[in-house]
Amino acid sequence: MKRIAIIAAAVLMAACSHSNNGRVLTKSGLDPQAFVAEYNGQPTALYTLANESGMEVCITNFGGRIVSIMVPDAKGKYRDVVLGFDNIQDYFPENNKTDFGAAIGRYANRINQGKIKIDGVEYQLPQNNNGHCLHGGPDGWQYKVYETVEADSSHVIFKLVSPDGDANFPGEVTATVTYTLTAENKLAIDYAARTDKTTVINMTNHSYFNLSGDPANHKITEDFLWINSSSYTPADNTLMTTGEIADLSTNPALDFRMAKLIGQDIDQKDNEQIVNGGGYDHNWVLDKSGRMGSTAATLFCPESGIQMNVWTSEPGIQVYSGNFLDGTVTGKNGVVYQKRAAICLESQKYPDTPNKPDWPSATLKPGQIYKSVTVYGFSVVKD
């Protein structure tokens, strides 16, 4: 751990360029010292990745969270395209209960009534969202301190050991999350996990993207979205999947096979799925799922010219249009995050997969290795 701390400090100093009252700041304006603390007796820190083209990603080991992503716009100006906080204290759940940028586990998304059955044994999980278990419960991995295994200017590896019975999930799970920044302005996230007892696992990243870099003044309804999907999993009014896989031709408001403005259909009052989600908060079943060479989704901001492509090994992607942001949270640079200030593109197994045996399995057994990969790639589209 001492060696890792020395490496991390060197990485931070090498990647930071600006100063303020003697403090060395990152390109995104973060003060790494504002992330040095302890949570439940474990140390937290900020890690900065940077490539030769100037892209920068800042990540904290608290919840394995992406704090900032600086990418150039069509005019070469760098913009921070994710929501978050500028100090570690604001990430702590006693101050703000958010998922900004987090590595979610043990099970991302919802499990119906918090109940799962494994090897004939029923487990009751926490019920923290309309009676369901959401993102591993109220004390999920997004609120844990990950151990830093490796860190340099191009990648960081975090590890978390989740004990048997953590949130009542069976099995001791050892999970790793690796963030790698490439020379091509791609941020790759590799998840891996092992267990000593049969369990379920479904990891994702919960970054809130606003490609304008100006969430105070630009809503994501002004941006374009394309999804490589011809079907989705409908949800009831508690946002629980019904078990159906529906053709998107039956609900054009959710059909993004042709790129369209996110705001075009997001407020349809006579669309049951839109009403249930308060906008978009649904799982799209990806066509050609599991093929990393096939783009899963594309987000484009005309104001900045920034485009983000998503590739994933997962079968689904949850699109959440920031419907529950309500102006009660103040983030970086004092910006108040209002409704639809950002959008999440969460690659994952389908919601409630453990209770729907016909869907791609989320079961992990002893001797197996859970692996999942998602890549966010950034580029610009010029006039």
| Phi and psi torsions of 252, nearest 5° | -60, -25
pLDDT for position 21? 61
DSSP string for 118-162: ETTEEEE----BTTBEETTSTT-GGGSBPEEEEE-SSEEEEEEEE
220-224, 232-236, 292-296, 310-314: segment of lowest average pLDDT: 292-296
| Domain-wise residue ranges, the chain | 2-105+138-200
Confidence of residue 53 (pLDDT cuts 50, 70, 90): very high
Cα distance between residue 120 and residue 74, in whole Å:
56
Q: Are 84 and 332 in contact (CB under 8 A)?
A: yes
pLDDT for position 12? 46
DSSP string for 45-111: -EEEEE-TTS-EEEEETBTTEEEEEEEE-TTS-EEE-B---SSGGGGSTTT----TT-EE-SB-SEE
| Cα-Cα end-to-end distance for the chain | 49
Better pLDDT: 13 or 157: 157
Q: What is the dihedral of CA 116, 120, 124, 127, to 10 degrees?
A: 10
How much is the average pLDDT of 334-349?
98
Neighbours of 383 (CB within 10 A): 5
Looking at the chain, the whole-number percentage of residues with pLDDT higher than 70 is 94
pLDDT for position 17? 52
Q: State which amino acid sits at residue 288.
A: K
CA Rg, the chain, in Å? Answer: 20
- Average pLDDT over all residues of the chain: 94
Cα distance between residue 304 and residue 344, in whole Å:
18
| Phi and psi torsions of 366, nearest 5° | -55, 140
How much is the average pLDDT of 192-221?
98
DSSP string for 165-196: TGGG--S-EEEEEEEEE-TTSEEEEEEEEEES
Is residue 282 annotated as a catalytic residue, yes or no?
Answer: no
How much is the average pLDDT of 65-88?
98
Which one from 56, 282, 314, 346 is the annotated catalytic residue? 346
Question: Per the structure block, which two tokens stand in for 211?
Answer: 């490609």
pLDDT for position 23? 80
pLDDT for position 13? 41
Which one from 132, 206, 218, 282 is the annotated catalytic residue? 206
The dihedral built from the CA positions of residue 98, 101, 103 and 106, taken in this order, carries a sign that is: positive
The CATH architecture one would assign to domain 2-105+138-200 is: Distorted Sandwich (2.70)
